Structure 1
Amino acid sequence: MKEFFKKYRHAWVLLYFFVYMAWFLILENTVTTQYHSVHIWLDDWIPFNEFFVIPYLLWFLYIAISVLYFFFAAPREEYYRYTAFLFIGMTICLIIYSIWPNGQDLRPNQFPRENLLTDLVRYLYSTDTPTNVCPSIHAFNSIAAHIAICKNKKLGTNRWIRYGSLVLMVSITLSTMFLKQHSAFDVICALILSGIMYKLVYATDYTMLFRRFHKRRNSTGVEADIPPRL
């Protein structure tokens, strides 16, 4: 057990999830009616389509599986970069929600069709309030996951995984608009935030910082492996 915790002590970063959920739930319960309604002209051109509930729900698996992969199988530096991209960006989103309470009034009063997928959308609407939407965390996290996958030597060189991830990322991003969960403006803001985070996390060289952070010696006095420069 001691060796396990020593090997995976980088799990401490994932404790952020509890901070995020507590903060987000507070906002969900306080930002209910008094908010700035986000809407742009493009929203009026995007029809509701319940089929997009499939990629929308796949987001949960996409993020969970990618985080687990980078936790267990990727170089430590890549794991820290990916989680930094996710968690710093998500924190910026929460700060924006706190300073500028926002929401949207795009959800249809009734669905054009009734089927299993619209039942799923109806359930989704009942569990997720139309507030705290700009920037879209759904879109932002999907972009973050795809970038991390492309940057990984194993995943990024496998074209089936790379293109599959791209299709899933684009589908999830589109789903936020076609399900009327987000305004197109929310997605545009998520794209801008992703560009800023890419510059901060991937386009800046932190190699020496990571080397100092991970430099240690094992019980035999031999220096442990240090993740290579990305």
Structure 2
Amino acid sequence: MLMEKIKVNYKGIIFRLLFSLSIGFLSKIYLILNNYRGKVYHLKTVLDDMIPFNKYFVIPYLYWYIYIAAVLIYFAVVDGKKYFKLLLSILVGMGISCIIYYFFPTTVSRPLLKGEDVFTKLVFFIYKKDNPYNCFPSIHVINSCLAAIYVNREGILKNYKMISTLIAVSIILSTLFIKQHYVYDVLAGIIVSYIIYFAFNHSVVLDRVKQRYPLEINR
């Protein structure tokens, strides 16, 4: 079914996907802000101390890029309107995050890496490319949560929704286990993603609430 839609409207799909390059523009702003700029805040909690460093979570942390790209491509193929809603939601989430990073810079404490295995090297690569700033809220969490919400609201098989949710959850957990973010960063990312989703889909959300909890007018 997807292949048929691609064959019929490949030009339109490519045109839609070109707009996703705007994510790269906001990523440039992220990189500019991802440096020490004076006073930074630590949002570490007791729970963060209880979460052990786990190098294997670098895998879901990295396939965040594949997951977001796959979901955007899916909607670009099957539903242009939802594609642009998701893309705009991601851009707004990144924009809000960058504004917060500028006025409220935070940092995380990273562990000393030991070992020469591939997982440790991948974590070291991430640490080298991404300074320990721009943490609250987590863009990894915002984008993953938004992608999962849109997929879960799609009329597809439950198995696909479950797989998407598991991927999103593993990505969110990875931000904690490889010590890229604190718990507050994750919670803020989840809250921001749901607020953005509601802002772009409030009528749909309210209709579903009314269907699930209909008001008894005549008693």
**TM superposition score category, shorter chain reference:** 0.7 to 0.9
TM-score (norm 1): 0.77
Give structure 1 stretches of 5+ with no counterpart.
Answer: 206-230
What is the percentage of aligned positions where both structures have the same residue?
34
Deviations 1:83-115 (A, max 9, x none): 12211111100110011111112x11244x653
The code of the aligned residue for 1:28 comes to: N
What is the aligned counterpart of 2:62 among 49, 57, 62? Answer: 57
Aligned residue in 2 for 1:19: 25
Contact 2:71 2:147 in 1 (8 A): yes
Q: Distance in 1 between matches of 2:61 and 2:181?
A: 12
Alignment RMSD:
2.3
Distance 1:131 1:62, change over 3 A: same
Task: List alignment gaps of at least 5 residues for structure 2.
Answer: 1-8, 205-219
TM-score by length of 2: 0.81
Aligned to 1:124: 126
Q: Pick from 94, 98, 105: which aligns with 1:101?
A: 105
Contact 2:58 2:174 in 1 (8 A): yes
Find the aligned partners of 1:49 and 1:33 in 2 and give their Cα distance.
Answer: 30
Offset of residue 178 of structure 1: 0.5
Q: Is the 8 A contact 2:51 2:177 kept in 1?
A: yes
Does 2:46 match 1:47? no
Q: How far does residue 198 in structure 1 lie from its aligned partner after superposition?
A: 2.0
1: CA distance, partners of 2:28 / 2:152: 31
Deviations 1:180-229 (A, max 9, x none): 01001100101111121121122235xxxxxxxxxxxxxxxxxxxxxxxx
* More helix by percentage: 2
**Equivalences for residues 138-157 of structure 1 within 5 A:** 138-153=140-155, 157=156
Kept in 1: contact 2:34–2:133 (CA 8 A): yes
Cα pair 2:135 2:181 within 8 Å, conserved: yes
Residues of 2 paired with 1:130 and 1:32: CA distance?
A: 12
2:136 is paired with a residue whose SS is coil
Distance 1:32 1:127, change over 3 A: farther
Q: CA deviation at 1:116?
A: 2.2
Alignment match, 1:225: none
Give matches, 1:179-190, under 5 Å.
179-190=178-189
Aligned length: 197
**Does the 8 A contact of 1:173 with 1:187 survive in 2?**
yes
Deviation for aligned residue 1:38: 2.4
